[in-house]
Amino acid sequence: MALPSKSGLPISRQTLIQLIVYGLVCLAIFIFPFILDNDFLLNRYARYLVLAMVAMALSLSWGYAGILNLGQAMAFGLGSYCMAMALKLRTVPVHTGAGGLPDFMVWNNVESLPWFWVPFYNMPFAIIAGIGVPVAVSFLLGWFMFKGRITGVYVAIITLAALVVANLLIIDAQSVTGGFNGITDLAQLELFGFTFDAYSKSTYFLVAGCLTVSLFVALMVTKSKAGLVLQAVRDHEDRVRFFGYDVASFKVLAFCVSAGIAGLAGMLYTVVLEFASPTFLDVSLSLSIVIWVAVGGRQSLLGAALGAILVAGTQSSLQENEFFLDTWMLIMGALFVLVVLFLPNGLASLVDIIGRALKRGRGPAQRSTSSPAQTSEPAEANVSKQGAE
């Protein structure tokens, strides 16, 4: 079997470096709680890690496949509601007692549990639904868009519209979704004998584990042949089609994998924040995700994830500071504009820029050592020729 790299490894050197960097970052995320022993802060950082997951998912569809999904929060929100429904059914309602109707349904004069709530008594079902529902919705939406050859800004508009519709539907169906208030007063998630208290290391580790797994799954997708085809689609969709690929199905794949990761992130968000709310399907959250990804670097999964942590982290610390209370929006906006103007591929492209600068710095030195050898060859050739004469 021919190997693609000269080093003899079945992966290229660049991929190897990438794997190491990704691994180190994930390791740092896992070590973090041992340095910072503060459950309140850990909860906050767990929240950032969840946001990093959604951002990373968007980078997969936007940065790699060129699908600008402005409705990324839809998959996120659907996931969070699935988890909230399951956890809600595990709380003992004050009015109706164990096994009774959730409190907000009682207030809305609902008589019996709606049919689609019933399977959520089963936690494995809820977890599968938290990923499956966003994937199914995205599959339908993606199929309709990409089979219909809808591209570019129209995809952005349609996904945004879908998000608004989903948001309105949830608010409107108050009696079964909690409407504006969302679903609150939730039980703690229990899985495999662990209880995931939002303010504890266990939840942080759950989130960190999910982030790590989904980061590497997404990385594998981008490193697969399908990932290469997706990048080709981003560059020149028609050209790919005329090589015999059914472009639509590749785009649907990227769209759905992205939605699945976002759905998982949504479920974790509910666990970390202990409620679900229509603000999770907000246009402003969805656009924030786009900003995080743009700042971090849409063509880098890790860049997008770190961008989310950086921007969301800065945002909430600015919001806390009285001095910045009114101006944080302005600061975030300025940061966004600056990055987009000067680093179109986000902060992640700094790595490439620095790498290239280092190489250039080292370049001349290498050349000066090798040049004598090069010049001596023709000289020798001349000598031997003269000798022959």
Partner 1 sequence: MSGHLQITDLTVDFGGFTAVKDLGLTINKGELRCLIGPNGAGKTTTLDLICGKTKPTRGSIKYDGKELASLEEYKIARAGVGRKFQIPSVFKQLTVYENLEVANCKNTGVFANLFRPGHSSHRDGLEKLAEFVGLADQLDLPAAYLSHGQTQWLEIALLLARDSELILLDEPTAGMTAQETHKTAEICNRLKGKHTIVVVEHDMGFVREICDVISVMHQGQLLAEGTADEISADPQVREVYLGSMGIGDA
Residues at the interface with partner 1 (CB under 8 A): 1-4, 10-12, 221-229, 231-232, 234-236, 238-247, 249-250, 253
The nearer residue to partner 1, 224 or 382, going by C-beta atoms, is: 224
CA distance 70 to 137: 15
- 């790299």: which residue's tokens? 5
The nearer residue to partner 1, 201 or 241, going by C-beta atoms, is: 241
CA distance 208 to 271: 13
> What phi and psi values does residue 148 have, to the nearest 5 degrees?
-85, 10
| Nearest distance in Å: CB 149, partner 1 | 11
| Nearest distance in Å: CB 28, partner 1 | 27
Amino acid at 371: S
- DSSP code at position 138: H
| Nearest distance in Å: CB 67, partner 1 | 15
Six token digits for residue 120? 């959520």
| Nearest distance in Å: CB 127, partner 1 | 23
Rg (CA), the chain: 25
The nearer residue to partner 1, 12 or 184, going by C-beta atoms, is: 12
Q: In sequence order, what are the residues at sequence separation of 6 or more whose Cβ sits closer than 8 angstroms to the Cβ of residue 170? A: 77, 81, 177, 179, 278, 281
Cβ atoms of 158 and 150 within 8 Å: the answer is: yes
| Nearest distance in Å: CB 2, partner 1 | 5
User: Bridge partners of 194?
Assistant: 191
Six token digits for residue 383? 């000598």
Residues 285-302: b if buried by 16+ CB within 10 A, e if exposed: bbebbbbbbbbbbbbbbb
The nearer residue to partner 1, 3 or 338, going by C-beta atoms, is: 3
The nearer residue to partner 1, 162 or 240, going by C-beta atoms, is: 240
| Nearest distance in Å: CB 62, partner 1 | 14
Cβ atoms of 46 and 271 within 8 Å: the answer is: no
| Nearest distance in Å: CB 16, partner 1 | 12
The nearer residue to partner 1, 102 or 227, going by C-beta atoms, is: 227
User: Bridge partners of 183?
Assistant: 276
The nearer residue to partner 1, 93 or 227, going by C-beta atoms, is: 227
C-alpha 338 chain-centroid distance: 22
